């Protein structure tokens, strides 16, 4: 029997809080890094202002379907680069930065009993919507993430592209990005 | 996802050139347009 798809009316998104402790404890995606981050680090990081973790909950709040962690990140370019006609780190143009800001999807995981319902896809949409909202007042024109090579195809279906070729052929992860600039209403 | 949340993504000169070129030519343009339009139409219940 096909699983019920995640729809806006059947779920809630909540930022992680102490009262989610028992739900967090029972979450299991089966990957140690993601399970451990949610249980040990997500709330601490939020309280320290390092990242924000969003829980996708069943509407009756009995279970976490998926979770998403967002971080403000940046692409640190090499010094002599030019972007849209502006040479970065050029004092003559009063621009002395080498970092292009982005919203980084730091973690995205689904409970193993909830896979196949579209929870991760729903949270990717949420991240995009969030990035576009932020961009109405602050420039954060790219959404980025690091993923294992075998998952690149999954994210390509959403329109993410490989940002650059890793230096090492056996690199553990690949960096992907999505441009949002053409959807921004300033 | 990667093991660590590496928020500053440091690029070499050749990676910078490749990235800037990729910003101009999105290889998954059709999917990107579809995903963003869908995201902007969705009403998320956030608390």
Domain limits of chain B? 13-42
Q: How far is A95 from chain B (nearest CA, A)?
A: 18
Average pLDDT over residues A94-102: 77
A94: pLDDT strictly greater than 80:
no
Q: Among residues A2, A85, A74, A69, which one has the least CA distance to residue A37?
A: A69
What are the phi and psi torsion angles at A96 (to 5°)? -125, 60
Q: Residues 117 to 146 of A: which have CB under 8 A from any B CB?
A: 122, 124-126, 128-129, 132, 144-146
End-to-end CA distance of chain B: 25
pLDDT tens column, A24-43: 999 999 999 999 999 999 99
Tokens of A173: 């992860």
Per-residue confidence at A186, pLDDT binned at 50, 70, 90? Answer: very low
Q: Does A184 touch chain B (CB under 8 A)?
A: no
Cβ contact A69–B10 (<8 Å): no
**Considering CB atoms only, which of A34, A81, A183 is closest to B40?**
A183
ipTM greater than 0.85: yes
pLDDT at residue A61 above 70?
Answer: yes
Query: What domains can you pick out in chain A, each with its CATH number?
Result: 8-183 (3.40.630.30)
Looking at residue A92, what is its pLDDT? 65
* pLDDT classification of A3: cutoffs 50, 70, 90: confident
């Amino acid at each position: 029997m096909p699983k019920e798809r995640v729809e806006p009316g059947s779920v809630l998104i909540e930022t992680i809080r102490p009262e989610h402790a028992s739900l967090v404890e029972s979450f299991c995606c089966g990957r140690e890094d993601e399970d451990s981050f949610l249980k040990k680090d997500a709330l601490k990081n939020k309280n320290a202002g390092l990242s924000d973790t969003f829980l996708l909950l069943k509407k009756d709040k009995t279970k976490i379907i998926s979770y998403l962690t967002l971080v403000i990140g940046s692409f640190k370019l090499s010094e002599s680069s030019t972007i849209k006609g502006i040479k970065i780190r050029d004092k003559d143009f009063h621009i002395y930065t080498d970092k292009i800001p982005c919203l980084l999807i730091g973690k995205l995981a689904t409970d193993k009993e909830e896979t196949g319902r579209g929870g991760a896809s729903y949270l990717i949409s949420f991240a995009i919507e969030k990035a576009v909202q932020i961009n109405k007042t602050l420039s954060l024109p790219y959404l980025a993430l690091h993923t294992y090579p075998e998952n690149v195809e999954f994210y390509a279906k959403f329109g993410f592209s490989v940002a650059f070729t890793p230096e090492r052929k056996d690199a553990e992860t690949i960096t992907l990005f999505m441009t949002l600039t053409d959807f921004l209403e300033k | 996802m990667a093991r660590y949340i590496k928020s500053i993504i440091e690029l070499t000169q050749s990676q910078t050139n490749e990235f800037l070129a990729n910003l101009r030519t999105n290889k998954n343009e059709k999917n990107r347009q579809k995903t963003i339009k869908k995201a902007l139409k969705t009403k998320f219940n956030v608390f």
